[in-house]
Amino acid sequence: MPQHAPDHRTQLDVADALLGLLRDSTTEPRPDTQLEALTLAVAADLPVLLWGEPGIGKTAALTQLATGLDLPLTTVIASVHEPSDFSGLPVVGDDPAEQGIPMAPPDWAVRLVRAGRGLLFLDELSTAPPAVQAALLRVVLERRIGALLLPPDVRIVAAANPRSSAADGWELSPPLANRFVHLQWAHDHDVVVRGLGGTWPRATLPRLAPDKLSEAVDFARRGVCGLLAARPKLVHQLPGSETRRGGAWPSPRSWEMALRLTAFAHAAGSSRDVLSLLVRGTVGDGPGLELLAALDRMDLPDPEVLLADPAHAELPQRGDLRQAVLDAVVEAVRNRPEKPRWDAAWVLLVRAVETGAPDLVVVPASTLASLRREDWDVPASIERLAGTVSLSQRADRSVARATAKTAKVGR
């Protein structure tokens, strides 16, 4: 009977081959708002903290990010380390009285310094006890680990689970939380399905326009400084609850981060959604939304320019911005009430009706009409608005009557 040649491949070899095929994947360019926000913050050299429930892919996203940016990934599980692993271990030399006692860094920090570049991933941050969180302060802000200073090309990203879903979780201390850009990480169904099929979104650094750098800095400074000049109470607001203190809140430090991110987003041409994630993740939802509104107003056309040529005025398409422009024009007429300016404002309102939602002109038209002087003739353009204003007012009265009727029936 013929002897079969022995098969030198063991079943473990076959299993390894199968595992290799399962791990084999590729990437594709794909719009991903939260991934773009992450890469923008990494480019701006700001520490980022990803918040999300266990198992939604925070660690996988960081692995893909490191691969996409060609950065060595160093993962440190914060909760299994001692404070000395971040502040350094004291090493007694020959003459401590003369030379002092140096603080020796851990091996992973030495490897990062030798590489000169990399991505430091601090995982499970919300399960790190307060003493470890305190030791991390210098790592995150000053980039120091013992006696070592991390190179400029090392970026820091952390991940945490909400306390409710973390094993023996802790709230982040306010000093540590205020050093991060907080991004809420959620899974995208389509991304997960395509990723399990072998194709993940490609993480790339934002393309900054070299000719827009100075403009971006000016834009960010005017926006942030203009808001804080008008709203001084927003400069520093330590939240009252322990949970909110462990997230994003406004301070001079976090406003500086918001300014930097605004400049980077402007230079990269990032969407408003990306900027919204970043600024709200830096100074909190309320102040972040106020900053976005302030930045929107900066791009609005000058009311005086519109009044100079109302027939050819370019008005914003977004309803809230268009409303703000029309209100500003009426306010400009109120501040300098002259017949030509009053007439020009009516022409502008007509153009607003012709190019957008008619209901947006109701309040400005009513206010502008109240500014009329006795010796001012009524311009013909008012006739073109009469139907719109009248129809809207009738609709408002109908709604009011229906509401009153419903309330009466419910008694």
CA dist 213 and 217 (Å) reads 6
Residue with more model confidence, 250 or 69: 250
Quickly state the pLDDT bin for 167 (edges 50, 70, 90): low
Quickly state the pLDDT bin for 164 (edges 50, 70, 90): low
**Which tokens sit at 128?**
């790190």
Nearest to 180 by CA among 110, 78, 104, 95: 78
In this predicted structure, the answer to whether residue 403 has a pLDDT above a threshold of 50 is no
Query: Residue range 373-393: average pLDDT?
Result: 68
Q: Look at 38-52, 185-199, 265-279 and tell me which has the smallest mean pLDDT.
A: 185-199
Nearest to 246 by CA among 149, 151, 177, 146: 177
Q: Are strands 181-184 and 153-160 parallel, antiparallel or unpaired?
A: unpaired
Q: Are 328 and 300 in contact (CB under 8 A)?
A: yes
Q: Are 392 and 362 in contact (CB under 8 A)?
A: yes
Its pTM stands at 0.76
Q: Whole-number mean pLDDT of the chain?
A: 84
Q: Which residues have CB under 8 Å from 393's CB, separation 6+?
A: 362
Quickly state the pLDDT bin for 11 (edges 50, 70, 90): confident
In this predicted structure, the answer to whether residue 62 has a pLDDT above a threshold of 70 is yes
CA dist 307 and 333 (Å) reads 9
The CATH number of 29-90+104-201 is 3.40.50.300
Q: Each residue of 274-298: pLDDT tens digit?
A: 999 999 999 999 999 999 989 988 8
Query: Residue range 380-409: average pLDDT?
Result: 52
